[in-house]
Structure 1
């Protein structure tokens, strides 16, 4: 990143950053996508990866594939922890590299100035390799994928999944989209239902310090009530592009994600008999029946919801506060693609419950 203290001349010749590793050591690497738009994938040429955690310390079920060389896609706001090992079949003196590939799903139009793939050399601190032979400016060999870890298909460990109830005690439905409206001068604004979020301004006091009847019209809220309860939040993305959504204050289980091949692909359990994208169930009188495969759920705090799709998120509303739920693409949040989740507050303002189900 170019900053004032460290400018980057894109037309000049500069040494590539590189990794200096010891072939006899195992490394734990935490990768954070601090970008404002695109996801990315990491690809290693001569190293094996093991995914162990997502989103800052949430354990995942160990992968059966032991020779993975790439992992992703990691979307804005998401994190992953990897164990990195030099492949035992590779000579310690063999060159290696790391390639970072940007996900093209967020780029609607071609950009000739964009280089979506960057490769960086990896050097090993091996006494048999003279330091004079290390040339950071030399082009690095491009990795060839052998096996890939799709982190969107990972599941949490069985101990984490054991706490998911078959049914939630509350269900809330929201729809999100960026729209240009004449009443807003045709400027793009992000919406949840019919509300585009802005910080509380009238009066300009933190929401948690105000009774709900004094919140201004820019605050759409899911109100979970005064007691801890399990909540299903169904988020319908009506946009032609995906959105990475992040919830503050809580982790949530991602029970199901669906992208429609045609139409909008939204889901409203108050109107639809069954979630789109799932196989129709056989008749069941079991009151604990759930259409979701809870053994494949993943606990996260940021989820990528595809265009014209939806996600079913289940969380335990037990952390008191007024928490922001928002798109992690910077200008989508700035445009108002956010809402709040009011947890363990007072029961005043039940209008918020019903408004979400319109």
Structure 2
């Protein structure tokens, strides 16, 4: 990070560029492989049709020339094309970093980058683009209408998550889910019985049979957290950004309805990574039918590394974990070797 007292001397380099025949349409998959913040992706003179998110789940699209915010681990697929009036004109790709996690000015950071997108045409022109930006807001994405009602949840879980700086932890920032900050054990949990798991492991058991789970993730922080669930896709049935107070949701207190209004049970988007807004909550529903111990964690990597991780044990035995089946035994043998 640069400051006035310690500037960063960056040498100028030639920007990469891309050459496309704008007479064709292209399917593009955009993946945020970053570890800190979200991005928005814009091609001003283009026509984008967003078709899928994350692991190939369909969404309802609308005309756009920009898509975002795409948080770490999120993916989006869109069809990219151009109107005939601009197929001979050069344009640009604009990538903008979300400012949410940049609380202090960094003079070495260029949050908006643009790259030449050249038209592969004999009549190539360079024109100034003044097209209005129409963004497909991924946080508001909806899925197609469900053909069958979403099953009711058989089990409910609720968590609270935040980053804390505590004296007894040497004032080192730690990520918490409920009262647990995760640390890895020497052997993976799948190779151990539950009685051998330490106090840093928050791993509720979903039960011996497949069951629909409803999970409420409450965010106590003033910035959002993109949470990723391994092993499953889930329906996002509620998302609410708080107003700075206690705007959380407790499904075990029916006398206090969710502040974000009724759940969307008609056309919820299906994902495997979801942004949990600041001071707010997200409610997801998924069928727990894939046996294993599956991590749920914030995909801002330093949040994950500092402890913002938990897991679900799906199927198996509540007391033995998975250590007596072939998966657990092979994991133990692999780690011992």
TM-score, normalising length from structure 2?
Answer: 0.87
In the alignment, the residues of structure 2 paired with residue 217 and residue 276 of structure 1 have an alpha-carbon distance, to the nearest angstrom, of: 31
Structure 1 residue 72 and structure 2 residue 86: aligned?
A: no
Change (3 A) 1:20 1:294: same
Please list, as runs of the form range in 1=range in 2, the aligned pairs for 1:134-145 lying within 5 A after superposition.
144-145=131-132
Question: Match for residue 293 of structure 1?
Answer: 264
* Contact 1:99/1:143 (8 A) holds in 2: no
* Contact 2:43/2:66 (8 A) holds in 1: yes
Residue in structure 2 matching 1:89, options 59, 77, 85: 85
Helix, strand or coil at the partner of 2:30: strand
C-alpha RMSD of matched pairs (Å): 2.1
In the alignment, the residues of structure 1 paired with residue 320 and residue 241 of structure 2 have an alpha-carbon distance, to the nearest angstrom, of: 34
Q: CA deviation at 1:323?
A: 0.6
Structure 1 residue 328 and structure 2 residue 287: aligned?
A: no
In the alignment, the residues of structure 1 paired with residue 167 and residue 320 of structure 2 have an alpha-carbon distance, to the nearest angstrom, of: 30
CA displacement 1:25-74 (0-9 Å, x = unmatched): 1101100001111101111121110001100311112x2x33x1111110
Structure 1 residue 112 and structure 2 residue 94: aligned?
A: no
Change (3 A) 1:248 1:29: same
Q: CA deviation at 1:251?
A: 0.8
Change (3 A) 1:146 1:69: same
In the alignment, the residues of structure 1 paired with residue 105 and residue 254 of structure 2 have an alpha-carbon distance, to the nearest angstrom, of: 38
CA displacement 1:228-255 (0-9 Å, x = unmatched): 0000011111011111000000111111
Gaps of at least 5 residues in structure 2 are: 1-7, 322-337
In the alignment, the residues of structure 2 paired with residue 326 and residue 182 of structure 1 have an alpha-carbon distance, to the nearest angstrom, of: 24
Question: Match for residue 29 of structure 1?
Answer: 28
Question: Match for residue 326 of structure 2?
Answer: none
Change (3 A) 1:143 1:81: farther
Question: Match for residue 330 of structure 2?
Answer: none
Residue in structure 2 matching 1:228, options 210, 214, 229: 210
Q: CA deviation at 1:113?
A: 2.0
Q: CA deviation at 1:12?
A: 2.7
Structure 1 residue 305 and structure 2 residue 276: aligned?
A: yes
Q: CA deviation at 1:93?
A: 2.3
TM-score, normalising length from structure 1?
Answer: 0.82
Question: Match for residue 59 of structure 2?
Answer: 60
Q: CA deviation at 1:349?
A: 8.4
Change (3 A) 1:312 1:212: same
Q: CA deviation at 1:112?
A: 2.2
In the alignment, the residues of structure 2 paired with residue 142 and residue 276 of structure 1 have an alpha-carbon distance, to the nearest angstrom, of: 44
Q: CA deviation at 1:142?
A: 6.5
* Contact 2:44/2:133 (8 A) holds in 1: no
Residue in structure 2 matching 1:250, options 232, 253, 258: 232
* Contact 1:242/1:305 (8 A) holds in 2: yes
Residue in structure 1 matching 2:135, options 144, 148, 166: 148
Please list, as runs of the form range in 1=range in 2, the aligned pairs for 1:2-17 lying within 5 A after superposition.
11-17=10-16
Question: Match for residue 164 of structure 1?
Answer: 150
Q: CA deviation at 1:331?
A: 0.5
Gaps of at least 5 residues in structure 1 are: 1-8, 135-139, 280-290, 351-358
Change (3 A) 1:209 1:122: same
CA displacement 1:110-154 (0-9 Å, x = unmatched): 22222110111111211344xxx99xxxxx956643422111111
**Runs of 4+ in structure 1 over 3 Å off:** 140-146
In the alignment, the residues of structure 1 paired with residue 138 and residue 303 of structure 2 have an alpha-carbon distance, to the nearest angstrom, of: 24
| Aligned residue pairs, count | 314
Question: Match for residue 125 of structure 1?
Answer: 120
In the alignment, the residues of structure 2 paired with residue 153 and residue 271 of structure 1 have an alpha-carbon distance, to the nearest angstrom, of: 27
Helix, strand or coil at the partner of 2:303: helix
Question: Match for residue 265 of structure 1?
Answer: 247
Q: CA deviation at 1:157?
A: 2.3
